[in-house]
């Protein structure tokens, strides 16, 4: 099912509907800077290599039947990086769109951007709009690029939207907030991968990853390939997902925790 509305599974439905292949994978693409430094190159070269890895990964995910891939490309906190790195990352958006959009569009990738667009330049905003509009009828896989995104920003903007919509305190519910989150068009990520060896979430998809399975790998993002993806998928398939409930057999009632 393609989700244009928030998808909420009850704990029981979620347990019963568990499959070995995640519908939605989220990735923190960490390690670009170290990959470049090891080669005595500027960090932004690592980000450029990271774009190529991203393109290969979205195609590999599509081949495996994954419906949604969401990647953390620029966090609300990344503005604190040196200005040449920030401008390098912004320039990379333009390069990436001109180099890869035609191919991605032709193989059925839909691109969506999540994050606060008000702070990015007109050029970057324009490139993202072009990527979104040229792929809006595609449905093989949705690649969501989190750009100037933060999980806390997302919760705050959903609350602000609820207030603007005139909701009363009683109407602030999981569903009413979820439908105002930046990724309300997608099911929550089943699998959350972070490359680069750090074992934290770093303000990515805080609300949406409540029940995601976390997989951390030392592999630096530019070196992430099909073998690492399949390793994460195998790890996911081994996990026992209960969504706060208990494992049920067919003749036993469910209890949610």
Check: CB of residue 96 under 8 Å from CB of residue 130. Answer: no
User: Toward ligand FPP, which CB reaches closer, 80 or 238?
Assistant: 80
- Cβ atoms 147, 115 nearer than 8 A: yes
Strands 191-194 and 141-149: unpaired
The DSSP line for 19-53 is -SS-SEEEEE---HHHHHHHTT--HHHHHHHHHHH
Task: For residue 196, state whether it binds ligand FPP (rule: CB under 6 A).
Answer: yes
Stretch that binds ligand FPP, among 5-13, 44-52, 168-176, 199-207 (CB under 6 A): 44-52
- How is 105-165 classified by DSSP, letter by letter? HHTTEEEEEES-GGGS-HHHHHHHHHHHHHHTT--SEEEEEEEEE-HHHHHHHHHHHHHHT
Q: Is residue 57 involved in binding ligand FPP (CB under 6 A)?
A: no
Q: Site for ligand FPP (CB under 6 A): which residue of 45, 62, 93, 229? A: 93
Among 25, 26, 45, 51, binds ligand FPP (CB under 6 A): 51
Q: Confirm if 120 and 148 have CB atoms less than 8 A apart.
A: yes
**Among 7-15, 28-36, 154-162, 226-234, which window interacts with ligand FPP (CB under 6 A)?**
28-36
∠214-215-221 over CA atoms, to 5°? 125
Annotated catalytic residue 78: yes
Given the complex with ligand FPP, which of 78 and 138 has the nearer CB atom?
A: 78
Residue 224 or residue 236: which is nearer to ligand FPP going by CB? 224
One DSSP character per residue, 55-103 reads HHHHHHHHHTT--EEEEEEEETTGGGS-HHHHHHHHHHHHHHHHHHHHH
**Site membership for ligand FPP, residue 31 (CB under 6 A):** yes
CB of 68 to ligand FPP, least distance (A): 16
CB atoms within 10 A of CB 192: 26
For ligand FPP, the binding residue among 11, 14, 26, 30 (CB under 6 A) is 30
Q: Does 150 bind ligand FPP (CB under 6 A)?
A: no
Asked if residue 33 binds ligand FPP (CB under 6 A), the reply is yes
Could you say which of 78, 138, 184, 254 contacts ligand FPP (CB under 6 A)?
Answer: 78
- Annotation marks residue 30 as catalytic: yes
- Asked if 22 touches ligand FPP (CB under 6 A), the answer is no
Catalytic residues: 30, 78
Per CB under 6 A, residues contacting ligand FPP are 29-34, 43, 47, 50-51, 54, 73, 78, 92-93, 96, 145, 196, 221
């Amino acid at each position: 099912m393609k989700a244009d509305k928030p998808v909420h599974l009850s704990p029981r439905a979620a347990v019963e509907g568990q499959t070995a292949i995640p519908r939605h994978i989220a990735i923190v693409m960490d390690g670009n800077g170290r990959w470049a430094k090891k080669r005595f190159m500027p960090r932004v070269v690592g980000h450029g290599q990271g774009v190529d890895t991203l393109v290969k990964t979205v195609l590999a995910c599509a081949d495996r039947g994954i419906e949604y891939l969401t990647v953390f490309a620029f966090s609300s906190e990344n503005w604190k990086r040196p200005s040449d790195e920030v401008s390098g990352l912004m320039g990379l958006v333009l390069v990436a769109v001109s180099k890869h959009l035609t191919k991605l569009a032709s193989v059925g990738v839909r691109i969506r951007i999540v994050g606060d667009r008000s702070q990015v330049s007109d050029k970057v905003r324009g490139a993202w709009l072009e990527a979104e509009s040229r792929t809006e009828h595609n449905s093989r896989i949705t690649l969501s690029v989190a750009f100037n995104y933060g999980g806390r920003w997302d919760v705050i903007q959903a609350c602000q939207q609820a207030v603007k919509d005139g909701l009363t305190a009683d109407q602030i519910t999981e569903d009413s907030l979820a439908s105002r989150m930046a990724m309300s068009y997608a099911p929550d990520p089943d699998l959350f991968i972070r490359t680069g060896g750090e074992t934290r979430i770093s303000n990515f998809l805080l609300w949406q990853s409540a029940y995601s399975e976390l997989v951390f790998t030392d592999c630096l993002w530019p070196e992430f390939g099909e073998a690492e993806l399949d390793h994460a998928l195998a790890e996911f398939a081994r996990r026992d997902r209960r969504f706060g409930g208990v494992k049920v057999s067919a003749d036993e009632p469910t209890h949610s925790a």
